Amino acid sequence: MKNPLRIGVVGLGTVGAALVGALATNAPLLASRCGRPLIVTAVSARDKNRNRGISLEGIAWFDDPVALAQSPEVDCVVELMGGADGVAKAVVEAALSLGKSVVTANKALLARHGTALVALAEAKGAQLNFEASVAGGIPIVKTLRESLAGNVVTRVSGILNGTCNYILSRMELEGLTFADCLADAQRLGYAEADPTFDVGGFDTAHKLSILTSLAFGTEIDSDAVYVEGIASITPLDLTMADELGYRIKLLGVAERTSTGIEQRVHPTMVPKNWAIAQVMGVTNAVSVLAEPVGELTLVGPGAGGNATASSVLSDLADIARNIHVAPLGVPASALSHGDRAPMQRHEGGYYIRLTVRDRPGAAAGIATRMAEQMISLESIVQKRAAASRMADPAGKSGAPVPVVLITYATSENAIRAALDAVMADGHIAEPPQLIRIERG
């Protein structure tokens, strides 16, 4: 049997502890499958004395993670610290510069510096593996990079953040508000004390930028991703979606269009009969449309110690087997800048909820503004609150009334122009709610 792969683990949080435990428990299986032992020889974390439920006996402790990366007793570094810059970046660069392969789950680091780090790895003959950086335990990186190497990908979309999916699922099933669900998610540990990165859509955007590069052979460019979060979604929106045959999900979507490659993250209405619409709770799902295979949907745990550790183990097994694959599917020098498709040119159907002032001419004025932008309406639904009906059965009080418009395919530019005009006319009492519809 070959010499062991000596692994240094930087970061012993939930994922790091699960990884060290799994490497010990599954040592005979890994050695058999990889043709050599995989052993942890060094670790680094903030608190040496913390009880992590794993044995670190016989494993060297480093207070300085960069020193660990440079240690001659370490062949491969696993970076599980997180963060786009600082120590995490220094650790990865130190290891790659010495020709040591790196496994990371750090989507923020890859979203900002991924292309440069891949180029460094290739120049030094090292591997940079990152299956765990997107969708936890779902093997979407290898699916795009290796399993679909002979396919032309036209679209990648998915539920890439379990926190958002958990909140939207509970809001829909239990009729709760966003604020109530967020508070519960924080109590259960699904959301951070500062949840902005998750519920604002930025975590999904980082992951989507990585998938875009793998799918289309472009440089990783998280700045090209249009981002909206879920804080504006209300129980009424979820109820209306249900009545119209849809379910609301926070999707990351990357697709090749006539105007370039779109990268967008936003709440989306998806038909209930789609596989991705059935994914509830903290689960993730990724759908790939490619030729000649058609459409594939992968569903599984998107976070958590064991799920993420599973993906790290897969990457370590490849390194132990000496499997060398271009990290982004093609050499870094062959990556294109990619033609950005501006969000203003996005085309599709739209759900628009307006809080319309109940007065003569309001409906006609709104219809006129839509017609001016050549927007065709598929349906119009008026939702008068039960309390308003009881207080004013004749509907003459002038109180604002929720009105939902569903459009046929149109452009983002046209929708924005029409809604700006409607707001300027004073027909609505608050900013409109706008949710894009995916119809396939």
Count of positions (residues) in the chain: 440
Phi and psi of 373, rounded to 5°? -100, 15
347 closest CA partner among 253, 431, 230: 253
Residue 314 in 3-state DSSP?
helix
Q: How far apart are CA 66 and CA 79, in angstroms?
A: 11
DSSP state for residue 80 in the 8-state scheme: -
Q: pLDDT: is 385 or 49 the higher one?
A: 49
pLDDT for residue 1: 61
pLDDT for residue 259: 87
- Give the tens place of pLDDT for each residue, 174-188: 999 999 999 998 988
Q: Is the pLDDT of residue 107 over 70?
A: yes
Q: Is the pLDDT of residue 361 over 50?
A: yes
416 pLDDT band, cuts 50/70/90, is very high
Q: Is the pLDDT of residue 389 over 70?
A: no
Residues 6+ apart with CB under 8 A from 202: 196, 227
Q: How far apart are CA 19 and CA 261, in angstroms?
A: 36
Q: How far apart are CA 247 and CA 272, in angstroms?
A: 6
- Give the tens place of pLDDT for each residue, 296-336: 999 999 988 999 999 999 999 999 999 999 999 999 999 99
Retrieve residue 261's tokens: 């490659």
Q: What is the CATH number of domain 346-437?
A: 3.30.70.260
What is the domain partition of the chain in residue ranges? Answer: 5-133, 144-301, 346-437
Q: Is the pLDDT of residue 68 over 70?
A: yes
pLDDT for residue 391: 36
Q: Is the pLDDT of residue 393 over 70?
A: no
Indicate the pairing of strand 76-79 with strand 128-129: unpaired
Q: Is the pLDDT of residue 440 over 80?
A: no
- Residue listed under structure tokens 């670790």: 43
Q: Is the pLDDT of residue 165 over 80?
A: yes
- Check: CB of residue 222 under 8 Å from CB of residue 111: yes
pLDDT for residue 397: 53
398 pLDDT band, cuts 50/70/90, is low
Q: Is the pLDDT of residue 396 over 70?
A: no
pLDDT for residue 386: 41
Q: Is the pLDDT of residue 55 over 70?
A: yes
Strands (E), 221-277: 226-227, 246-257, 260-271
Q: Is the pLDDT of residue 395 over 70?
A: no
Could you tell me where the DSSP H helices lie in 339-385?
Answer: 362-372
Please, what is the Cα angle at 374 between 369 and 379, to 5 degrees?
A: 75
Q: Is the pLDDT of residue 145 over 60?
A: yes
Q: How far apart are CA 248 and CA 414, in angstroms?
A: 23
192 pLDDT band, cuts 50/70/90, is confident
pLDDT for residue 384: 64
Retrieve residue 84's tokens: 């786009």
* Beta bridge partner(s), residue 5: 38
Q: What is the CATH number of domain 144-301?
A: 3.30.360.10
Q: Which helix (H) or strand (E) holds 243?
A: helix 235-243
Q: pLDDT: is 189 or 115 the higher one?
A: 115
Looking at residues 194-204, what average pLDDT do you find?
95
- Check: CB of residue 77 under 8 Å from CB of residue 102: yes
Q: What is the mean pLDDT of the chain?
A: 93
pTM of the model: 0.93
Q: pLDDT: is 416 or 342 the higher one?
A: 416
| Residues labelled as active-site residues | 207
Q: How far apart are CA 288 and CA 211, in angstroms?
A: 10
DSSP state for residue 432 in the 8-state scheme: P
Indicate the pairing of strand 377-382 with strand 401-407: antiparallel
CATH architecture for the domain at 5-133: 3-Layer(aba) Sandwich (3.40)
Percent of the chain with pLDDT over 90: 88
